[in-house]
Amino acid sequence: MTSPLLQVRDLKVHFQVRAGGIFFGTYLPLKAVDGLSFDLSAGETLGIVGESGCGKSTLGRAILQLLPATSGTVAWLGKDLTALDRAELKAHRRHMQIVFQDPLASLDPRMTAGDIIAEPLRNFETGLSSAAIKAKVREMMEQVGLLPSMVNRYPHEFSGGQCQRIGIARAMILKPKLVVCDEPVSALDVSIRAQVINLLMDFQRALNISMLFISHDLSVVRHISRRVMVLYLGRVMELADRDAIYGKPRHPYTQALILAVPIPDPDKERAKPRVLVAGDLPSPLDPPSGCVFRTRCPRATEICARAVPVLESAGVGHEVACHHWRD
């Protein structure tokens, strides 16, 4: 394999959360991301799935340096981003962009669509004339399927799907090398979802973008990703190629997750074994000892409470963090 574009090593993002007490509250560490390592090569799409509180959004922001990492490294072409100063970081930002979940909230309500899309250009290509910027914005609007004549409209005048197209245009206008998509289609209607997924995939192929596709929707992730990483309470449970994850999941959490997804086919859906994961997600402030999934795991034994499972290889490019994956 060629040398990876992005190398994340033992990345930790912890927050201090105030707990209890009116005057002398104590602070508890919330381990949103707790020791993640993975590589991303050029033109690859890595899907990141997990339930709420698994740290998937925090991970995306920490990679883009929108949140400070507590420890660990995020290496971009071999250069550690966490060690850069502000000016150096800004120079790198033009290669890394993000598409957000809430299409309307991610657009400044006081700016026109054209200004929003042009913002990265104004920040990075200061030499461009305003006519050149205008031309680029129009071209971009056409590419994302918006009418260029809508350039002077404001976000509230667009539908959710159109707003997301504006967000994508803004992210793609600098032709970035890495795009973090944080639940880009979760807030959209079903019929719009497919349009936006296709748009993202078209860009990914055309510009050979590396993509981190963060989602709780396993069906969408399956469609768009080449590899998939399953997170639970800030830790990697399983990381493998798409077909391995969906075809031969090794981790009990991955298996449960896949079974829980409803399939839009009454025959298949009703024939499915009804195995439910018991209980609720534990509080991330007070994660279980050992394996974080053990409190809900059907295979948990005494060792799971004692030792944190390390990622083991379960095949080519297939890693599992479970004491019992061989069973």
Q: Which residues, numbered 58-77, are part of the site for other proteins (CB under 8 A)? A: 61, 64, 66
Q: State phi, psi for 127 to the nearest 5 degrees.
A: -80, -15
| Residue among 77 and 207 whose Cβ is closer to other proteins | 207
Residues pairing with 181 in the sheet: 99, 213
90 binds other proteins (CB under 8 A): yes
| Residue among 37 and 111 whose Cβ is closer to other proteins | 111
Q: Which stretch binds other proteins (CB under 8 A): 8-16, 35-43, 141-149, 284-292?
A: 141-149
Per-residue binding string, other proteins, 272-291, x by CB under 8 A, is: x-x-xx-xxx----------
134 binds other proteins (CB under 8 A): no
159 binds other proteins (CB under 8 A): yes
Q: Which stretch binds other proteins (CB under 8 A): 25-33, 73-81, 128-136, 153-161?
A: 153-161
Q: State phi, psi for 83 to the nearest 5 degrees.
A: -95, 0
Q: How far is CA 256 from CA 27, 186, 273, 278, 304, in A?
A: 33, 21, 11, 10, 18
Helix (H) or strand (E) holding 62: helix 56-63
Q: Which of residues 10-39 bind other proteins (CB under 8 A)?
A: none
Per-residue binding string, other proteins, 245-274, x by CB under 8 A, is: -x---------xxxxxxxxxxxxxxx-x-x
Burial class from Cβ neighbours inside 10 Å (0-12, 13-18, 19+) for residue 38 reads buried
Q: How far is CA 327 from CA 43, 147, 232, 305, 312, in A?
A: 35, 56, 21, 18, 14
What's the distance, CA 233 to chain centroid?
A: 15
| Residue among 8 and 169 whose Cβ is closer to other proteins | 169
Per-residue binding string, other proteins, 287-326, x by CB under 8 A, is: ---------x------------------------------
Q: Which stretch binds other proteins (CB under 8 A): 71-79, 162-170, 233-241, 310-318?
A: 162-170
Which two three-digit tokens encode residue 6? Answer: 């992005």
At how many degrees (to 10) do helices 130-143 and 160-172 cross? 130
CA angle 45, 48, 52 (to 5 degrees): 155
| Residue among 101 and 210 whose Cβ is closer to other proteins | 101
Q: Which stretch binds other proteins (CB under 8 A): 74-82, 127-135, 159-167, 310-318?
A: 159-167
Among 37, 219, 255, 295, binds other proteins (CB under 8 A): 219
193 binds other proteins (CB under 8 A): yes
Q: Which stretch binds other proteins (CB under 8 A): 3-11, 12-20, 161-169, 318-326?
A: 161-169
Task: With CB under 8 A as the rule, give the number of residues binding other proteins.
Answer: 92
| Distance in angstroms (rounded) separating the CA atoms of residues 13 and 63 | 10
Residue tagged 């807030």 (tokens): 187
210 binds other proteins (CB under 8 A): no
Helix (H) or strand (E) holding 11: strand 6-19
